[in-house]
Amino acid sequence: MELSEKGGIQNNGFVQNEDFEDKEMATSSQEEMPKTCSVDVEPVAVEETVLKPYAGMPKEVLLQFSSQARYRVTREILFWLVIAGAVVLVCATIAIIALSPRCLDWWQASPIYQIYPRSFRDSNMDGNGDLKGIQEKLDHITYLNIKTIWITSFFKSPLKDLGYGAEDFYDIDPIFGSMTDFENLIAAIHDKGLKVIMDLIPNHTSDKHRWFQLSRNRTGKYTDYYIWQDCRQAAGSVIPPNNWVSVFGNSSWEFDDVRKQCYFHQFGKEQPDLNFRNAAVQQEIHDIIKFWLGKGVDGLSFGTVKFLLEATHLRDEPPVNKSQNGESITAYSQLYHDYTTTQVGLHDIVRGFRHTMDEFSREPGRYRFMGSDDDEKEDIEATMMYYGTTFIQEADFPFNFNLINMKNLSGNSVSEAVNSWMQNMPAGKWPNWAVGSPNAARISTRIGKEYINVMNMLLLTLPGTPVTYYGEEIGMENIASENATLPEKSPMQWDGKANAGFTEGNSSWLPVNSDYQSVNVEVQSAWSNSSLGLYRALTVLRNEELPLNRGWLCHVWNDSDVFVYVRELDGMDRVFMMVLNFGQEATTDLQARVPNLPSEAVVRLSTHFSNAGKVVNTKLIKTEMGEGLVLQYKTAKPVHTMEAFQGKCFVAEKACYSKALNLLYVNC
């Protein structure tokens, strides 16, 4: 091996003499020439160094490895796995959204609590309930696990008809407070995550309303805002245009001394009907709707809408008893009201209300509910028309008073009331139920104290939206009153103090029921086996259990004493069976009614709290008068799939449960 030997020079430091530098450079050029010498070295095998990846390697080294097949292929596999995973995730998300059932809206997911504001809570000691009083008691609503409040009419009014004839649709009656109080109440309701519905009665106004005063004087466009007709005079008395009778009795025509004509009123003479064949009147109502929705109201209940139009030909309505002398007809029930209710064009007006409300529903999460509060009683098909059609919606639901209108109480009558609604309700629509209202006697007065709890159990386990009238959760009773419209409007009973805690003043606008010391919220909150305790337990169960929330309803059995039905959900083996007694003590063999029914079931809830958690034999279910049981059992054969129950099962918002994925889907 040859080695190159290189000479060196001595470093003499820095010298400024240029001659010396030139000489040094010349010498250096000669002395630095390499000298070659030969050295004998034995040959040794030289191993090639193998480079491996290491932490912190520079980019150049990294690139050498990244181009190797084993690293490139692995990288590409991981890349395509990530892409495939992302595609699968997106597709799964789309599939879940496409297959998921529509979420229940706020007006479907919670019971509605109806408040008559003058009787709920008095905040200023004048003896009248008010808006501030409602705000003070919002915690009671949340305590009941309720999310929606329905406040009945509080417009400025002479209160001749308990506030249902408005003097000003844009103002609050001073008895209830001010517009500021209302705005504060709305804010407080929404702060608690609650929703609020209010009443709107568009059919008529008070005779004190500015529109009526202008109309009776034939002022401009207001001349035809109401229904005016000439009246004949004979022997010093006024002869009306026809035999039409008001809901409250006697002629529905009233002579006005100012205009010298008769005006039409379906209710009291202080409540003249608006002329809805006048487009300007319809626009006025649309403006009122916009005003209150703009204030933050979440929904409106339109009352008396079936009275909005009357026949223009003014013919006499046919009497129920054809042999009755026409001059003796004074009661509303004595005529068929073919020309004063549900006239052609009525539903066009209602759809117009819906369209205006939909303008305020476009904001996500701010759907505006619309209800219609018309009780057709015998004509269930006419009631169902307020749902609208498949393509044109009207009300989200017309309020259902079937359970209130029952003429007698039994398992058969309750079954008939429930099936009547479910069988006639249009497909895809949502049911609702009420057992009390401001216009009906309370449960305990109407059918008896012993049935309070079982009626609430029925209300809260049926499919759809339950409506509870204030005080029914504690079993309040009517008071004695000469005025037929007042007994069910007595002050709310909060505690055992003077005036039941309704007011701190000396008196209330109506007397408090004498049972207030034992029937009140404070006492029942501390007593586990109370009507209030059961009501809360039922609302909790309803919120927690999907079959009760949106599952099937199947009618299993009814007789003079009991009504039995199940609530179940596709894909879920847990079933709830309600055995409700509306008659006398009874024993029911459920195994004989339902094939493959398990021999035992667990009592999930009972009107007798001590029975909760017990196991019962389904072949021998004993119930006392007014007792209700919520039974729970498991089965692989739901009732709604059995041929024997076809036509007896109903579902509104169909959904199926996947146990593996723990989610709901629609195609099942």
Phi, psi (rounded to 5 degrees) for 40: -85, 120
Token couple for 562? 């009991």
Instruction: Look at residue 44 in the predicted model and tell me its pLDDT.
Output: 47
**CB 651, CB 639: distance < 8 Å:** no
β-pair partners for 115: 151
What one-character DSSP code corresponds to residue 67?
T
Tell me what the pLDDT averaged over the chain comes to: 90
Q: What is the pLDDT of residue 296?
A: 96
pTM for the whole structure: 0.87
Burial of 152 (0-12, 13-18, 19+ CB in 10 A): buried
Distance, CA of 530 to CA of 476 (rounded, Å): 13
pLDDT attached to residue 364? 80
d(CA 351, CA 392): 8
Q: Computed over its alpha carbons, how large is the radius of gyration of the chain?
A: 40
Name residues of the chain where pLDDT drops below 50.
1-39, 41, 44-46
Using the structure block, give the residue that is written with the tokens 């004190």: 208
For residues 652 and 569, what is the distance between their CA atoms, to the nearest angstrom? 12
State how far the Cα of 312 lies from the Cα of 310, in Å rounded to an integer.
6
Contacts of 630 (CB under 8 A, 6+ apart): 457, 461, 541, 576, 577, 578, 603, 604, 605, 606
Which stretches within 426-562 are classed as H helix? 443-446, 452-461, 521-526, 531-544, 546-550
pLDDT value of position 21: 45
Q: What is the pLDDT of residue 40?
A: 52
Which residues on adjacent β-strands are paired with residue 155? 172
- Element at 302 (helix H, strand E): strand 299-303
Cβ neighbours of residue 114 under 8 Å, at least 6 residues apart?
Answer: 150, 152, 434, 436, 437, 438, 467, 468, 469, 470
CB atoms within 10 A of CB 143: 15
Task: State the amino acid at position 654 in one-letter form.
Answer: K
> What are the structure tokens assigned to 50, written together?
């193998």
**CA 6/CA 454 separation, integer angstroms:** 115
Q: Which pLDDT score, from 0 to 100, does residue 668 have?
A: 73
